[in-house]
Structure 1
């Protein structure tokens, strides 16, 4: 079996749900094992989060052979009332933009 990730006890800006969704946005065929490793979660936690996201309409999946292929529902509105005017695609756009910046604030094209 895989290793259990080291627990993180301090607060963070992003929820595990946002991390999992961003990981899936990067690769729609990513395995749960790889999501768990990237997000530093257990596979069981990832399975629960994916289930939550599917139940609430943020995500669907289909089987292709032995693999899952995920589809994010980009127009779905975020759950918290403070973000009720933001869609999943807007959140993922912000996260993707952040990931493409260097530590000095420049983008790879600069």
Structure 2
């Protein structure tokens, strides 16, 4: 298995290879949004990727203007840059803030 793929519980319903609606970039962004003091190793563990992949994604997000990196001593902190737009032309009119809000709201409770 590719270390950047996350295995989901249970077999895919279609019998085809598993996929998700959010990319690893989206999951990393949401991890930083949920905990600005999160460590890179914890991001990698949460997303299901290697630390090296997490660092590359953080670099991509920083160079794309979606987050800002700040060093304080030996620690690195990431801050989400608000009001940035999605990259794909279909969603380019929307800001990432909506995605972050969607996933920061408590999950609906099962009935």
RMSD: 1.8
The runs of 5 or more residues in structure 2 that have no matched partner are 8-16
Q: State the distance in 1 between where 2:88 and 2:5 align.
A: 28
| 2:69 and 2:78 in contact (8 A); partners too | yes
Q: How many aligned positions are there?
A: 100
Is 1:74 the equivalent of 2:48?
Answer: no
The runs of 5 or more residues in structure 1 that have no matched partner are 106-110
The structure 1 segments of at least 4 consecutive aligned residues displaced by more than 3 Å after TM superposition are: 4-9
Is 1:50 the equivalent of 2:64?
Answer: no
Deviation string for 1:5-58 (max 9, x for gaps)? 875451111110010000000111111000001111100100110010011111
Normalised to the residue count of structure 1, the TM-score between the two structures is: 0.82
Normalised to the residue count of structure 2, the TM-score between the two structures is: 0.81
Q: Residue 104 of structure 2: which of 91, 96, 106 is its match?
A: 96
